[in-house]
Amino acid sequence: MEMWYCRVCGLDYDVSPWGEDGHTPDYTCCACCGAQFGIDDYNVVTAQLFRATWLTEGAPWFYANLKPSGWQLAAQLPQIPLAYQ
Ligand SMILES: [Zn+2]
């Protein structure tokens, strides 16, 4: 199965929140950056804006209990899809 990566923070997902067709966001929030799929990652501009704010705040996990031990921001950011960097 192909992984899907958050357009804002690069977190990997087994199932795309943008649906099988890639055009049907479920409007849930990323566990890591908290971006709302379909809104905050709608295009490269919104993704960059949300990312800049999130990074300024110190890149906190939206669902802190899901943050893996040993999580590395620098290792995750390069996973952001090229078109949204
Ligand atoms: Zn994210």
Q: Enter the tokens of residue 65.
A: 């209990």
Domain coordinates in residue numbering, the chain: 4-70
Residue 2 has what pLDDT? 83
Strand 12-13 relative to strand 4-5: parallel, antiparallel, unpaired? antiparallel
- The rounded Å distance from CA 53 to ligand 1 centre is 12
- What tens-digit pLDDT sequence spans the chain (85 residues)? 689 999 999 999 999 999 999 999 999 999 999 999 999 999 999 999 999 999 999 999 999 999 999 999 999 999 999 999 9
- The rounded Å distance from CA 30 to ligand 1 centre is 5
10 Å CB burial of residue 77 (0-12, 13-18, 19+) is middle
